[in-house]
Structure 1
């Protein structure tokens, strides 16, 4: 097996390799004048089961499109050089939000990404917390593996020993199923007193509307779950609504912290939000703040690679509270 970690995913890749007990294979990435790029393995991939970990979020010097095309070209090079199988691991898979037409003549960008990945010779793809699981699985014609984060978040919530009842809140209609899965994960590990609530939200031409709030959160610890946070507006809107309906505390959880430069400041300074938890799928990305905690994905990804490579069976990380980490990086670094 060969495990490659592309630029932007080095920190996570080193922790995945350490957790799995294998090394990171050497490779070269070079930038040329006028924006072109070359990536190549520095070991012969012929006959090997190749896993490529790629950070496909935007930020810093590389855009989403830059990182996507570089990852696809690297996978294609491994395929051309005779790799037995090439698996792309993209903890955050871009364009997942555009999996259907909401306006006339809209693109189906999620499907186009899938077609491009397949055309480059990838045999399978692994991602974490897809925006729309059905859309992700249906877009690809190669095998897919979806790594859900509900168990990680449920373990964190269960470790909270405060006496107030717990409520899971979906911040928009599209997140109801995701919130239901977290609700079920909490019940599965013995958190009995769990409620459920959701908010209405509609967005058109950049304008957000919808004020319906359903569910009883009075006197409760509210956990707002989303798959990603960018500007933070959706989370803060839900947090403020929960406070207005009597929530004792509000904790936001998201699998992907795709923060804009202003988002962390906005979230950390808002009195309606007590805490924010994300995974390291898009790290490095944040400045240090007491409200933020980061849950590592390395155990989950290492377990997935071990299962995929030769059918080795590894159990997923146990449903115990993972240790959060602070990442003192500047936004957009």
Structure 2
């Protein structure tokens, strides 16, 4: 059997501990620092040349540019030191929203990131609830997207008069999967985004939300603008409470405060990005995937 090591960055050590304990592996925390000019330094604190494989865990947000470079340095160093297989866990995958060329002259940033990780020798890239799963692929590297939707359904089970809502057609499939577990109705709001200015406008579909609790489910809450606009529409349609559920909560510019001010009753996120709202723990889902890869 191949000999594996779990290595995590300091802000991912809780996840590293859970993974290592579940798989019966040793866990080390990488040394990191920033040089005065802003460049990144990483170091494995033990001799990793005796290991066949490595599980590398990096929460790549915030400071995603720095943290992605750190992950790349760690992948390259592992191979350079003789490790044959490196499974890279990026619970939230930065740059994944630019999964196609929206305007002439743009990069497809998701493919840029995946190509870089693959070229450095990542055997697999594992993430949770990537923005567009069908775009999450690259030659020569296994790309694994973990879906947390059963965990959301387990939290909502037993709630009466619930409606599941996607803030746009793009995430309707997410809401549909949660609905499959619960057997409750779901729908979506039509959203239009100006590709130049970024301004978002929304148009409601025919929704029966009067007197009901609405759960808006999406992959990312960034500025909260989509949730805030949806809340206004749903309030006008008679919803009694509106809850936001998202896998990755960036919560930029005090988005949570602005969402609560707009009438959102609760925010629930996963621990892919630790926040005060990280009530859904995806560690076991990651462990389940790793068991198939390394045992």
Tell me if TM exceeds 0.5. Answer: yes
* Counterpart in the other structure of 1:111: 111
Q: Which runs of 4+ in 1 moved over 6 A?
A: none
The answer for unaligned runs of 5 or more in structure 1 is 188-193, 287-291, 311-333
- TM-score, normalised via structure 1 length: 0.81
Q: Does the residue aligned with 1:113 lie in a helix, a strand or coil?
A: helix
| Count of matched residue positions in the alignment of Structure 1 and Structure 2 | 289
Work out whether residues 4 and 26 of structure 1, in 8 Å CA contact, stay in contact via their aligned partners in 2.
yes
Aligned mate of 2:189, from 199, 205, 209 = 199
1:27 Cα deviation (Å)? 3.0
160, 174, 184: which one pairs with 2:170?
174
2:270 to 264, 279, 301: 279
> Structure 1 CA distance, aligned partners of 2:70 and 2:145?
22
Distance 2:202 2:261 in 1: 24
Which one scores higher on RCO, CA 8 angstroms, separation ≥ 6?
Answer: 1
Shift in alpha-carbon separation, 1:214–1:96, aligned structure 2, 3 A: farther
Tell me what 1:72 maps to.
72
The CA RMSD over aligned residues, in Å, is: 1.8
Where do 5+ consecutive residues of structure 2 fail to align? Answer: none
1:226-261 per-residue CA deviation (whole Å, 9 max, x = no partner) reads: 101111111122222222212232111100011114
1:1-333 to 2 correspondences below 5 Å = 1-46=4-49, 47-58=51-62, 63-137=63-137, 139=138, 141-158=140-157, 161-162=158-159, 164-187=160-183, 194-204=184-194, 205-271=197-263, 273-283=264-274, 285-286=275-276, 292=277, 294-310=279-295
Deviation at 1:112, TM superposition (A): 0.5
CA drift of 1:293 comes to: 5.5
Deviations, residues 53-101 of structure 1 (Å, cap 9, x unaligned): 001112xxxx211110110110110011111210100000011110112
Matches of 1:239 and 1:20 in 2, distance apart? 43
Q: Aligned equivalents of 1:140 and 1:267: distance in 2? A: 40
Are the counterparts in 2 of residues 198 and 214 from structure 1 also a CA contact under 8 Å? no
CA distance in 2, matches of 1:141, 1:228: 28
The structure carrying a bigger strand percent of its residues is 2
Task: Confirm or deny: 8 A CA contact 1:39 1:70 kept in the other structure.
Answer: yes
Is the partner of 1:264 in helix, strand or coil? helix
Which has the larger displacement, 65-74 or 101-110? 101-110
**8 Å contact kept, 1:4–1:24:** yes
The answer to whether the 8 A contact 1:128-1:146 is kept is yes
User: Closer, same or farther in 2 for the Cα pair 1:264/1:212, shift >3 Å?
Assistant: closer
Distance 1:220 1:22 in 2: 47
How far, CA to CA, are the matches of 1:241 and 1:136 in structure 2?
33
SS at match of 1:8: helix
Could you tell me whether the CA contact under 8 Å between 2:190 and 2:205 is conserved in 1?
A: yes
